[in-house]
Structure 1
């Protein structure tokens, strides 16, 4: 059993990115920042603002600020690790290095849930906007194919399925092509968001801001726990570390830059939206479009809806991109079948991982509703953030002289603040969400030991460990290569 706590040394982690199963470094600081903005902006403005307003009211603005502060502490931790260990895997890899294999597996399992649900949840929101846009032209999609199973007589959410399949095809072409598509769509959605802010200012009714905190401090923090979903995306940048040029400089710029840009836009949109419409009317899957319909600006409704569709498209793209890289990294370490770390020549993309991600996200988006799944993303991400912060502290203690291109300031204060904020936000989530998360973890641990037995974890020494594994030799891991 001692072997399940074996750690991977940093040098080996870096060396694994130099072998045949490596990804192409093709993303610069501008494209990485745009990727972060593409991953962050979308769900928060075009979906979650409506759901969260039911908890926090006009104080949704404060909820966004609290979530942004929590994310800033975590972003600084991500920037240190991702610039120091610029390979695929994100928190999974950092945990493997600092805490050991079993904890790395748990984090990888959590990240798979996080990005899988995020992709599907945003695709469901994307579908709502597409149905609304088509309806504005007098075309009504059949109910049986236009929503989650069991909602208004629907059997399958076909638009959500189609967008996931289309983006799977884009991702298979490689990171460079994916970044180009993302940049074009991000430009469109930012322009549309600025248009909404400019127009919305003229329709603000100050009376809608009263009462500002209808549900008190509790409501504000409940809203913050929900809109935290909106900021997920900056963490996806760490998953692209192995495909980033000059990662020591590029990754901190991408993570921190995208978070600042997105935070400003979020607060501005929340302020305008809650001023346009009474908060109790905003609890809808397409709150931006609803706000424009509410004030009677029909021409802008069409433009904004197109922007919302563009915005949600990039969020789905970035989340699917990140999840595929997590699976790739786990496969390369032998914790998943080796076929998922195969890299296709030319595009240098983990095609098998991408196809698996597309298949799983398609199934969830086809049959589940938004309200039933999106909070699962939050509990997964917050758990990952706490482990990341702890990993920063551990490595600072164990390897204080290790070269760091970017250093998180005020360690351990900032990592501890990240943990505290994450715990507070987790405490605001619904009990049944935490129960589902606990079941997912239990299933993950069972899978780890079952697959571990298959790959010889308990009968042979494992590869990829540090000097604490004295006398261990590499083991052949079953693969499909």
Structure 2
């Protein structure tokens, strides 16, 4: 469910950048992107992952461009949006809670690496390190991008814009909004492909173990790709991406993901108690699962209580 909702959210967000480049309605643009990447996912894991890697590199370049362009604009003009204009500080707790809830969506994807563990060498050691590295790099990039955005562009502009990072680039004398729009479209749409790949692979694995009908376990002989699960995943993503906007989809994704994180942390607590493992290269300290479960539950509760 998380992957389906995430893919729909990302498709809708990428469609906004597509709409900046061509007069294409958001629902139609989102539908086109979902169909395109579902087709790519059917080609095979190696081809799809290769395309995703290239798009991820483009994403990193795009974020670096935002940081450089926005930072240059502030450096050259000496104009910084005052803190008093960023928010009503009396409403800070509610705003921080709401922002943290939605921002949780930005970290979606690092856990998908676990679903590709069988493709990795020495997965027991490599996978945890890869997840930690992905989290660290993502956090640093997001902090830098968010800081540059809020000090270089008025908050009202960021809130009302469907493509706020494009506005940051456009505000800079060294920024080219058209070029960035193209890069942002490619980079943002990357998530659609990754999520569809993940959902298809998980569904295939469940069918292979008898947890889903055997019909889903079939693979295309030429590419050894689970085409049926890929097409079904793409169809469901399409049904969600067309009618809902990105804010609604991101909120639904965060709700489901935080709920799953509560369950996963509670399950880890149980495993540490009944079946401890001392042979793993990386082990979570006993205080970490309860802290993770409490943090995720607190974000969920704050979101519901604050509407």
Matched, 1:289 2:159: no
Q: Which one of the candidate residues 200, 216, 220 is aligned to 1:344?
A: 220
Q: Which one of the candidate residues 280, 285, 291 is aligned to 1:417?
A: 291
Q: Which one of the candidate residues 295, 305, 325 is aligned to 2:181?
A: 305
After superposition, the Cα gap between the structure-2 partners of 1:220 and 1:401, relative to the gap in structure 1 and judged at 3 Å, is closer
Give deviations 1:148-201, integer Å, cap 9, x for gaps. Answer: xxxxxxxxx222111111111221122222111111111112112112211111
Q: In the TM superposition, what are the counterparts of 1:313-462 in structure 2 within 5 Å? A: 313-401=189-277, 403-408=279-284, 410-411=285-286, 413-430=287-304
Which TM-score applies when normalising by structure 1?
Answer: 0.59
Q: Helix, strand or coil for the counterpart of 2:176?
A: helix
Give deviations 1:354-373, integer Å, cap 9, x for gaps. Answer: 11001111122123222332
Q: CA deviation at 1:431?
A: 6.8
Structure having the higher helix fraction is 2
Kindly name which structure, 1 or 2, has the bigger radius of gyration based on alpha carbons.
1
Unaligned runs of 5+ in 2: none
Calculate the aligned-residue CA RMSD, in Å: 2.1
Q: Which residue of 2 aligns with 1:52?
A: none
Give deviations 1:398-449, integer Å, cap 9, x for gaps. Answer: 22246424312x22x111111111011112324799xxxxxxxxxxxxxxxx
Matched, 1:123 2:11: yes
Which TM-score applies when normalising by structure 2?
Answer: 0.90
Q: Which one of the candidate residues 53, 76, 93 is aligned to 1:183?
A: 53
For 2:98 and 2:299, the matched residues in 1 are separated by: 8
Q: Helix, strand or coil for the counterpart of 1:173?
A: coil
For 2:139 and 2:46, the matched residues in 1 are separated by: 26
For 1:196 and 1:404, the matched residues in 2 are separated by: 40
For 2:277 and 2:145, the matched residues in 1 are separated by: 44
For 2:21 and 2:120, the matched residues in 1 are separated by: 36
Between 259-268 and 169-178, the greater mean CA deviation after superposition: 169-178
Between 354-363 and 321-330, the greater mean CA deviation after superposition: 321-330
Q: In the TM superposition, what are the counterparts of 1:52-201 in structure 2 within 5 Å? A: 112=1, 114-134=2-22, 140-141=23-24, 146-147=25-26, 157-201=27-71
After superposition, the Cα gap between the structure-2 partners of 1:322 and 1:122, relative to the gap in structure 1 and judged at 3 Å, is same
Q: Which residue of 2 aligns with 1:274?
A: 150
Q: Helix, strand or coil for the counterpart of 2:82?
A: helix
Matched, 1:210 2:89: no
Q: Helix, strand or coil for the counterpart of 2:30?
A: helix
After superposition, the Cα gap between the structure-2 partners of 1:304 and 1:209, relative to the gap in structure 1 and judged at 3 Å, is farther
